[in-house]
A = this chain, B = another copy of it.
Amino acid sequence: MNEFNLIQQYFSGKSFPRKDVILGIGDDAAITQVPENQCLVTTTDTLIEDVHFLKGTSAADIAYKTIAVNLSDLAAMGAEPAWLNLSLSMPSVDKLWLTEFSDMVAELCEYYSVQLIGGDTVKGQLSLTLTAQGFVPQESILKRSGAQNGDWIYVTGTLGDAGAGLDILKGKLTINDKEAREYLVNRHLRPAPRVLAGTCLRRIASACIDLSDGLLQDVAHISNTSDTGILLQLDKLPISPALGKNVDSLEKALEYATTSGDDYELLFTVPEEQKTSMQTTLDSYSIQYTCIGQVTGAAGKLDLLLNNQAYDLSSETRHGYQHF
């Protein structure tokens, strides 16, 4: 099977059709139209077997996560997703795998109203690179910079679930409660990109980032680019019952919540005067959010409190996910 037939059979025509796509899969490049008065937002993420997902992960789960992590990056900018470009590297052509994979791509494209407009298929180790494109009006862009002394720090959803889910899959964490175990594993395999939350936070959040490398590492990106300090109240961190009730200690739950990656929740900062707008907007969509701390004036300083007492994490624990 050549590349042309492969793309024809598994990807062309299966994807949700958007009116702003002039030319999708099938030419040398795709042609699309960015709406007037909107900026183009582009992000690229690569997922590699044994690095970003375990060997044996199902094709549907791989497709799900590849799309989710990229849409999460768009969400963190306040962008509306529109188009995907997928480069798929695989050791051989496995028809069952490709069917399951491309079915999930099609399902998510329809759910998020995005269109797969192009890509590449090559022979190599199992690896996926997705470029997601979307748009946002210039004055509504959410950046990592922009946090100000006194702004409140919030996160969507709950923290640490995905890290615990990965440890369950690796046999490093045993949880007897079947429902809790499945919940945590699912949070690792199928993180929900906070697309709606991102667009709701336009003109409300002063800074925003998605949590991919662990809370402490990612919050440092906010303080570094915003030139501020950060104070986190660890007792406020939203911990799911599945995680909180099933690990040995509060310390262990906090370690997951602060340092394990792959949560793909949004962390954002909100000035006092925007708090009410933020609450009204997120509540109206039933989006879960929790205030976990405050931006401080002490540039570069990270203060961790537990019940108003300074809390010490080992420097190793503080490290977060390392790419190399």
The residues of A with any CB-CB pair to B shorter than 8 Å are 1-4, 6, 22-23, 26-34, 36, 39-46, 48, 51-52, 72-74, 76-77, 79, 83, 85-87, 89, 92-93, 117-125, 127, 129, 131-133, 136, 138, 141, 143-144, 208-210, 221, 225, 322-324
Contact = CB atoms under 8 A, between A and B. Distances in A.
Contact of A79 (B1, B6, B29): B29
A64 B121 CA distance: 21
Closest 7 CB pairs of A and B: A3-B323, A29-B43, A28-B76, A129-B129, A131-B131, A48-B124, A44-B85
A29 B118 contact: no
Contact of A120 (B3, B6, B122, B129): B129
Given A29-B73, A51-B123, 6 more contacts: A31-B39, A31-B138, A32-B39, A43-B85, A46-B89, A120-B129
Nearest to A117: B42
A18 to B, nearest CB: 13
Contact of A118 (B44, B119, B121, B123): B44
Most buried by B among A93, A131, A141, A210: A131
A30 B22 contact: no
Given A1-B324, A42-B118, A117-B42, A143 B27 contact: yes
Contact of A129 (B44, B74, B79, B141): B44
B26 A32 contact: no
A324 to B, nearest CB: 5
A221 B5 CA distance: 12
B324 A93 contact: yes
A40 B33 contact: yes
Contacts of A127: 89, 124-125, 127
A118 B33 contact: no
B36 A30 contact: no
A95 to B, nearest CB: 12
A139 to B, nearest CB: 11
Given A2-B323, A33-B40, A87-B129, A45 B120 contact: yes
Contacts of A52: 122
